Amino acid sequence: MDIMNIGILAHVDAGKTSLAERILFDTNVIDELGRVDQGNTQMDAMELEQKRGITIKASVVSFNLDGLKVNLIDTPGHADFIAEVERSLSVLDGVILVVSAVEGVQAQTKILYSVLKKMGIPAILFVNKIDRIGAQGEQVVEQIREKLSLDVISLCRVDDAGSKQASVVENRFDWNTHSAFVEQCIELVATYDEQLLESYVNGEMLIEEQVEASFRVQVRQGNVHPVYFGSAVTGVGVAGLLAGVARWFPVNDQPEGQLLSGIVFKLEKAASGEKIAYVRLFSGCLNIREQVKLQRKNKQGEFTTRICKIKKLHALMNGKTVPASKITSGDLAKVWGLEDVWVGDIVGEQSSLIKGFSFAVPQMETRIEAADPSKAHQLYRALISLAEEDPLIQVVKDDFHQDLYIRIFGEVQKEVIEATLKENYDVDVHFSETKTICLEKPEGTGQAMESIWETGNPFYATVGLKVEPGLSGSGVVYCMEVELGSLPLAFHKAIEETVFHTLKQGLYGWEVTDIVVTLTHTGYFSPTSAAGDFRKLVPLVLMQALAEAGTDVYEPIYRFELTVPEAMMSKAVFKLSAIQAAIHETTVQNGMSHITGTIPVSVTESFKRSLHSFTQGEGFIMVEPAGSVRVNDGVPTRARTDYNPLNRNEYLLHVLHAY
């Protein structure tokens, strides 16, 4: 059986989950249509998803399309979950990008399209809600050309848009009845098909099958995009869309004899606590009870390998998961038995077919505590469990104050975590105010050294360190000016590990980056010295050197593209300037002003909230991470979560007591 893996993407409220529900109904997977507004859809299973009417986690379901098996992944559309979107995209053969016929191309639509384009994933556009008051037809296609891509063409036209009688009429590859459409299609694909262009320019007669075949190739390569119209609620146009999915998207035909190669793109936990991995197979096949290689890339870019035995396999089949003894190339599988598995792990061998995962880094942090203090440890275990299942959740524990912090993408994610902890772990929680995560970078060069027997050094160790600024984006670079044999290897390892650990908190409490740390002096006293002496001494020496060098604090920024009505441009520029946003360019087109620049992450959420009101709902902003800038005034600090080596007496009091 031929297999295809597709996803549905859209701006919030464009009708993505409703379309998924309609597809499952039309393909006989479900007997009754759910509604997002009633919280009873098949794809949104989480209680919070049903309450809010948004998709938070990627759901996976399979259906049959005239002998073609289609695995459908309904991905989130909310900005807080863009990383979940990117993760799901890496396993897809094609994407349906939903655009509302009423609201048109919205901010998140542009972000989603840019991600699709960057990853080279074929996309079909579905203009939904043609039956709603205010719905438009070809005007939406013009907006798509203006805001997304010129390389689109409507494969149907809309009659009676904006009424309950709205219907669609197919555009055919037929010179006799749809010659204007065929001409338009030739002009579109000729940009990418030199042979077709040459024939067209020479006045040769191009047959319909030739044009259609060229169009299919360009869609599959992600160069051009068909546009369909319809209504997920009434079902109008959905059959044509499904026919287009089967017609235009690539079908998996990798031979089974190839080496096993797949990737883990989603994790669940069984009631027993065992991890269940969702695997996309790009080649080869998985067999129950066989041993497979699991590979993971570490921070140094090297792959670590281990062998796991598959205990159980489930296949996706017509809305259900069913036990299977074998999963073939191109399909998705639920796998039990992959121990210590993470999202992004490679099953089997590396392959050029596997698109690399890029996990976005959270830019915000909040302290979390259990409403019932007696459940503090239960909360910590729950958070660790959630973090293992979802790489978007990062947990930081303050071992000194016993506080817990989570790093997140936005306020909606806090609600998701709160609801999950209550629903799955019976833990009520409180959050502190969300803070933006900053970084520190060394301002100059500093050195420090502590020697054995010197007054004030209670450790049987000598350590000298030098710090200096590193290249932008280099992180922490560790070097040695001493001979490797000057210390036992275990002591060298203790020094290096402690350097990296200590730099998690700089002079202002933020992680230090773009720094070069050089080990300049070492010494030990055999047989008394131990690795613990070096682990306890390094923080004192390193922070002395860092204090001498000084650090600057950098706050994260977004690159933004703001669109507002022309009459409101001056007000938008004023408001951006008031929050230290840097404006790069302003242009005006078709009565709308487009403003680009950079904006501090810390003020982005409040600006987004104000945007709707001062533009009467006409403005939207698109943002993406753009690095960081130095903070000149009002440098933010973060409470330390260690024994504070910057305060020598306090630090020694704690470590010597523990010693």
What CATH number did the domain enclosing 26 receive?
3.40.50.300
Lowest mean pLDDT among 188-202, 225-239, 354-368, 493-507: 354-368
- Mapped onto helix, strand or coil, the DSSP state of residue 580 is coil
Mean pLDDT in residue range 467-488: 93
pLDDT at 256 over 70: no
The kind and range of the H/E element at 245 are helix 238-248
Top-confidence residue, 115 or 512: 512
Q: Residue 184: inside a domain, yes or no?
A: no
Task: Tell me how far apart the alpha carbons of residues 652 and 640 are, in angstroms, rounded to a whole number.
Answer: 16
Q: Residue 359: inside a domain, yes or no?
A: no
**What's the distance, CA 342 to chain centroid?**
15
pTM flag (> 0.85): no
Q: Tell me, what CATH number does 535's domain have?
A: 3.30.230.10
DSSP assignment of 357-408:
P-PPPP-EEEEEEESSGGGHHHHHHHHHHHHHH-TT-EEEEETTTTEEEEEE
Range list of β-strands (E), 144-238: 152-154, 156-159, 167-170, 225-229
Task: Tell me how far apart the alpha carbons of residues 71 and 81 are, in angstroms, rounded to a whole number.
Answer: 21
Residue 45 belongs to domain spanning: 3-173+222-248
pLDDT at 401: 75
Work out the pLDDT band at 658, boundaries 50, 70, 90.
Answer: low
Domain boundary among 552, 571, 588: 552
Rg, Å, the chain Cα set? 29
pLDDT at 360 over 70: no
pLDDT digits 0-9 by tens, 399-446: 777 889 998 877 777 888 898 899 889 999 999 988 899 999 999 999
Scored b (16 or more CB within 10 A) or e, 560-578 reads: bbbbbeeebbeebbebbee
Tokens 């009091």 correspond to what residue? 653
pLDDT at 651: 93
Q: Do 603 and 544 share a structural domain?
A: no
Q: Do 99 and 80 share a structural domain?
A: yes
Q: Do 548 and 565 share a structural domain?
A: no
Q: Do 229 and 125 share a structural domain?
A: yes
Q: Do 445 and 426 share a structural domain?
A: no
Percentage of the chain exceeding pLDDT 90: 56
pLDDT at 48: 38
Task: Tell me how far apart the alpha carbons of residues 477 and 484 are, in angstroms, rounded to a whole number.
Answer: 17
pLDDT at 411: 77
Domain boundary among 485, 517, 552: 552
- Mapped onto helix, strand or coil, the DSSP state of residue 114 is helix
pLDDT at 555 over 60: yes
Work out the pLDDT band at 594, boundaries 50, 70, 90.
Answer: confident
pLDDT at 477 over 90: yes
Tokens 């203790």 correspond to what residue? 494
pLDDT at 433: 87
Q: Do 460 and 371 share a structural domain?
A: no
pLDDT at 51: 47
Mean pLDDT in residue range 454-466: 94
pLDDT at 190 over 60: yes
Q: At what angle do helices 569-578 and 601-614 cross, to 10 degrees?
A: 150
Q: Tell me, what CATH number does 385's domain have?
A: 3.30.70.3280
**Which tokens belong to 449?**
């050294």
Q: What is the mean pLDDT of the chain?
A: 87
pLDDT at 255: 59
Q: Do 542 and 518 share a structural domain?
A: yes
Q: Residue 587: inside a domain, yes or no?
A: yes
> Phi and psi at residue 498, in whole multiples of 5°?
-70, -35
Domain boundary among 320, 348, 376: 348
Which three-class secondary structure string do you get for 481-526? CCCHHHCCHHHHHHHHHHHHHHCCCCCCCCEECCEEEEEEEEEECC
**Which tokens belong to 658?**
């523990």
pLDDT digits 0-9 by tens, 374-396: 999 999 999 988 887 776 778 88
Q: Residue 329: inside a domain, yes or no?
A: yes
pLDDT at 49 over 50: no
Q: Do 456 and 427 share a structural domain?
A: no
Q: Do 230 and 155 share a structural domain?
A: yes
The Cβ-side half-sphere exposure at 365, using a 13 Å CA radius, reads: 18
Q: Do 450 and 425 share a structural domain?
A: no
Mean pLDDT in residue range 237-261: 87
> Phi and psi at residue 653, in whole multiples of 5°?
-60, -45
Q: Residue 527: inside a domain, yes or no?
A: yes
Scored b (16 or more CB within 10 A) or e, 321-352 reads: beebeebbbbbbbbbbbbeebebbbbbbbebe
Tokens 């047959």 correspond to what residue? 207
Q: Tell me, what CATH number does 279's domain have?
A: 2.40.30.10
Q: Residue 307: inside a domain, yes or no?
A: yes
Q: Do 227 and 84 share a structural domain?
A: yes
Q: How many domains does the chain have?
A: 5
pLDDT at 491: 97
pLDDT at 188: 94
Lowest mean pLDDT among 41-45, 191-195, 215-219: 41-45
Percentage of the chain exceeding pLDDT 70: 91
Task: Tell me how far apart the alpha carbons of residues 204 and 213 are, in angstroms, rounded to a whole number.
Answer: 17
pLDDT at 638 over 70: yes
Mean pLDDT in residue range 189-216: 90
Q: Residue 239: inside a domain, yes or no?
A: yes
Task: Tell me how far apart the alpha carbons of residues 157 and 140 are, in angstroms, rounded to a whole number.
Answer: 12
CB 90, CB 355: distance < 8 Å? yes
Listing from the earlier edge strand, what are the strands of the sheet with 303-309?
303-309, 291-297, 346-348, 261-269, 275-283, 332-336, 312-317, 320-323
Q: Residue 217: inside a domain, yes or no?
A: no
Q: Do 145 and 44 share a structural domain?
A: yes
Work out the pLDDT band at 200, boundaries 50, 70, 90.
Answer: confident
